[in-house]
Structure 1
Amino acid sequence: MLLLMSFTALNLHAQDRVLPADTTITSFDEVMIKGQNVPYQVDVGTQPVYGEEDEIIASLFYTYYKRTDVDNDEERPIFISFNGGPGAGSLWMHLGYTGPKKLIIDDEGYPIQPYGVEDNPHSILDVADIVFVNPVNTGLSRILNEGKREQFFGVQEDITYLAQWIDNFVSRAERWRSPKYLIGESYGTPRVSGLAGQLQGSHWMFLNGVILVSPTGLGMDPEGPTPRASVLKLPYYAATAWYHEQLPPELQNRELTDLLDEVEEYTVEEFLPALTYGGFIDEDRKSEVASQVAYYSGLSEQFVRNYNLAVPASAFWKELLRDEGHTIGRLDSRYKGIDREDGGERYDYPAEYSSWKHSFTPAINHYIRDVLGFKTELQYYVSGPVRPWNRDGNTTGEMLRGAMAENPYLNVMVQSGYFDGATDYFTAKYVMWNIDPSGKMKDRFSFEGYESGHMMYLRRPDLETSNEHIREFIRKSAPENGAPARY
């Protein structure tokens, strides 16, 4: 009998490390948002991904929040939320941004102990239901049975299976009549841009809105510089130098947005045209540009010249505070790091990412296991194994444009932090300007900037403001009852 009990215990232990393909745990809670008590149901569980012959090839871990004091949900929006990477779990926006619980951090986003979660008084759950989705090999989502890595890990592969999963989820949740929104952060922005086209074109699911948080280049190849070109980084350099007080007094004493308007104009009207001449630029003009770029960026004129006027971001992160013995973060340049040595051209580690993992990892593991009751010995993948990633066929920007053209209801909002050095805010504007080069749909685009970084919601004032911008976006993109979708 002892042997049998031992075998049974081992077997149960092994089962805890295998993801159940289809399961749900439901609980109830309430949160105070904008002075109003909001009761809600939370479903945490898994839903299968099916192969071509309807066999289960993977299962996605999700968390679904639904307000419970609403008589019907045919007019209540539902948000489907993705993070990026690719390989990032949904924990970032789940516990940092729109959900009814948020991780415990200080007002600027730095870790504090004890770790854990608290109510989020700025959550959008008062106006919309939300489902946070973990793609394959992120969070607790896993490949199952005969599923193959190449079925999931690529730009178009990712979009195809996630569109099918969303179709199934909306049917299960009985939300086909609801206004639908996608929100994605970082690599989540090509994901939701492509999904807008895929859902509309292959599943006949039309959206009201797409929110791009800290967007990438969306696979676009505009007529001007490519997204992420060093020339487009100058406004971000100015913002970061302003934050760290590295600018001349006449610039340092100005309001940030006022300063950035000037630097953006210089970038487009003077800096970019000068760089088009490459090595044939007139020497006097080269000196003028080097001086002005140094003036705006907080760098020395010689350092700018060393990089032929276009300083790469990696060099900027190492150089700006070199004299003080600090590096600055990539995704949020407010964060400082320290290297083994001050020499060199690259930092040893991204200061901001180390800080974020410090606080988010214990919070999400505690929340899903101890609070929501999803018991498993699987590791929660904050950043999961999804390499190699097939980047061929990235037409996600065009997929979004096509969806907007065919759907007059569809609106897009871009949200960016001024101190994000990876997906910088000015490139985000540039991408937004070039999604629809005809300009016929520009009234359906909007941009919001924040005095923070890649995850602008980690700074408490921006958490409130950015969620309020989502509420405004919902109001703007919700047509009046009976208003036809027509041009």
Structure 2
Amino acid sequence: MAILRHLPAIFAVCFTLATPAFADDPPSNALPGPGTAKRSTVTPQDTLTYTVGVEAVPLADPEGKKLADIVATTYAMDRVEATKRPITYVFNGGPGAASAWLNFGGLGPKRFVFGNQGSAPSDLPKFEDNPDTWLAFTDLVFVDPPGTGYSRAVGADAERNFYSVEGDVDALSRVIAKHLAAKGRLGSPVYLAGESYGGFRAPRIAQKLQSRDGVGVAGIVSISPVLDFGIRQDEDISPIPWMNGLPSLVATMRERAGPITRADLADAEAYATGSYFADLMKGPRDKAAVDRMSAEVARLTGLDPAFVRRLGGRVDIRSFSREIGRNEGKVGSLYDANVTAFDPDPSAARSDFDDPVLDGAQAPLTRAAVDFYGRELNWKIDRRYELINGDVNRKWRWGEGQGAPEAISSLKAVLALDPKVKVIVAHGATDLVTPYMESKMALDQIPAFGDPERVRLKIYPGGHMFYTREGSRAAFLKDVKALYGVSAEE
């Protein structure tokens, strides 16, 4: 499910789903009432006892007509004062992706392994305690927008009401405000965490909550986001997408020789933003510029110089993901290029292939979610669980006018108005879909607003879902704890 640079979707572009999204759903199938269970999980510091609950948060129009049921899955710690404890609302991306990725992959109290080298669609979702769960310092609410998970819009106006940048932000900010009031949590510090398109929507939701719904947000964690879609547009003429993508290609190749850090990519970043950018501006008719680019890109990446020269020094991510494993008949994931699978057509000049991470994780994650709600919470529903809904993504409206969607202006507005808000933008070094340099470019244009440390860019080993790697998830947890004002030992 790759991001195509010409399209503004993050987490759900190359869907293989061809059937209508709701073809096997009964026409009128109300969701059951709330389901709850008492559970515990063990971390290095403590045994956490908690209540997990699932319920539908209804949204209605001004006349009271129901528009949607939004499913929220909540983990709340026992033996603590809930009314003042931090609460974090979590979203995945797409648009069209459910929150199971973050719930069962990194943040929730139970997790299972997926998305790494050796993972397969036939893997059984074996849950284990998550030592890196955020539940130790914040209650968690995983929210599935309409058309994802078990959430559904009601009536014929679903697309108009929810399948758009603005409609999505309006709906999810209302869900948060309603949930806080209904649970008596208006005294709790509120945080937002989102992955991919969820990382894009988080700053916009924060601004909407702050300006319309009367809820100030204490912090934002954007995971593998695109903060400004304009940065990645027009790769046929713009050097910016190529400049931002190159360090992630270099990171992929260097990681094959051993562990890497951000410091190990300093030369690639310097070249990409310096000489490479200047030569890209000269264009393909400048033979000397193309020769220089081709030679240096081949040196930095270790790719065949003849291959790089054929591409004019501009290595696109699909060609790269196939070339790095060509000798073994394998392809790399666009979401973590060092996770590979066999190429279904290794001798073909061009090949369409399922992504080893995204498509490979779809079966076990869906299986885990259905089992979790049905068996763990006895919340059984006779409808499809939409882990990734291609229909939502295809129908998404990205706005009007000439400007590309962006979240930087919302982020600046939130930071400027509230000097206490803190932000982490986190990326995996080998993610080709949302390369970390895009966020660096966007964040570098934000004023300090009194303290430049309020907004931090963090890079970890791994790809789009870097938190599926043990070491990266632990390092991420340490940084997130600092955002929440929690010591690393707690």
TM-score bucket of the superposed structures, by smaller chain:
0.7 to 0.9
Q: 1:93 aligns with which of 83, 98, 102?
A: 102
* Distance change >3 Å, CA 72–CA 217, structure 1 → 2: closer
Q: Percent identity?
A: 25
2:222 paired residue number: 212
Indicate the RMSD between aligned Cα atoms, in angstroms.
2.7
In the TM superposition, 1:370-385 aligns within 5 A as: 370-384=375-389, 385=391
Alignment of 1:30-429 (within 5 A): 30-74=40-84, 76-105=85-114, 110-111=119-120, 113-145=123-155, 147-220=157-230, 229-245=241-257, 255-279=260-284, 281=286, 283-337=287-341, 338-384=343-389, 385-386=391-392, 387-392=394-399, 394-429=405-440
Task: Mark the CA change 1:106 to 1:91 in structure 2 (over 3 Å): closer, same or farther.
Answer: closer
Cα separation, partners in 2 of 1:204 and 1:218, compared to 1, 3 Å: farther
Query: How many residues end up aligned between the 2 structures?
Result: 454
Report the CA distance between 1:44 and its aligned residue.
Answer: 0.8
Instruction: Report the alpha carbon displacement of residue 188 of structure 1 after superposing the two structures with TM.
Output: 0.6
* Offset at residue 307 of structure 1 (A): 2.4
Cα 1:163–1:174 shift into 2, 3 Å: same
Q: Is the CA contact 2:239–2:281 (under 8 Å) kept in the aligned structure 1?
A: no
Q: Deviations over 1:253-306 (max 9, x none)?
A: 78543431111111112211221121354x444323221111112222232232
Aligned to 1:279, the other structure's residue is in SS state coil
If you compute each CA radius of gyration, which structure gives the higher value, 1 or 2?
1
> Runs of 5+ in structure 1 lacking a partner?
1-13, 246-252, 478-487
Which is further off, 114-123 or 225-234?
A: 225-234
* Structure 2 Cα separation of the partners of residues 289 and 143 of structure 1: 50
CA distance in 2, matches of 1:307, 1:113: 38
SS in 1 for 2:395: coil
Distance in 1 of aligned mates of 2:240 and 2:195: 16
* Alignment check: 8 A CA contact 1:61 1:134 kept: yes
Determine if the alignment matches structure 1 residue 456 to structure 2 residue 461. Answer: no
1: CA distance, partners of 2:171 / 2:407: 15
Change (3 A) 1:144 1:264: same
Q: What is the TM-score with the length of structure 1 in the denominator?
A: 0.86
Tell me which residue corresponds to 1:3.
Answer: none
Q: Cα distance 1:113–1:310, how it changes in 2: closer, same or farther (>3 A)?
A: closer
Letter in 2 for 1:316: F
Secondary structure of residue in 1 paired with 2:485: helix
2:5 is matched with which residue?
none
Aligned 8 A contact 1:227 1:431 in 2: no
State the secondary structure of the residue aligned to 1:216: coil
Between 99-108 and 210-219, report the one with greater CA deviation. Answer: 99-108
Distance 1:68 1:383 in 2: 32
- Paired amino acid for 1:396: A
Letter of the structure 1 residue corresponding to residue 395 of structure 2:
P
> How far apart in 1 are the matches of 2:379 and 2:439?
37
Cα distance in 2 between the residues matched to 1:254 and 1:91: 28
Three-state SS of the structure 1 residue aligned to 2:315 is coil
Q: TM-score, normalised on structure 2? A: 0.86
| C-alpha distance in structure 2 between counterparts of 1:467 and 1:254, whole Å | 19
Q: Distance in 2 between matches of 1:229 and 1:439?
A: 28
CA contact (8 A) 2:261 2:460 kept: no
Residue 408 of structure 2 aligns with an amino acid whose one-letter code is G
| SS at structure 2 position matched to 1:269 | helix
Range moving further from structure 2, 23-32 or 408-417: 23-32
Distance 1:187 1:107 in 2: 21
d(CA) in 2 for partners of 1:441, 1:376: 48
Is 81-90 or 320-329 further displaced after alignment?
320-329
Opposite residue 135 of structure 2, the aligned amino acid is L
**Aligned partner of residue 357 in structure 2, secondary structure:** helix
Q: SS at the partner of 2:37?
A: strand
Q: C-alpha distance in 2, partners of 1:146/1:288? A: 56
| 1:474 Cα deviation after fit | 0.8
**CA contact 1:207–1:409 (8 Å) conserved in 2:** no
CA contact 1:217–1:227 (8 Å) conserved in 2: no
Contact 2:326–2:346 (CA<8 Å) still a contact in 1? no
* Contact 1:333 1:352 (8 Å CA) reproduced: no
Change (3 A) 1:100 1:438: closer
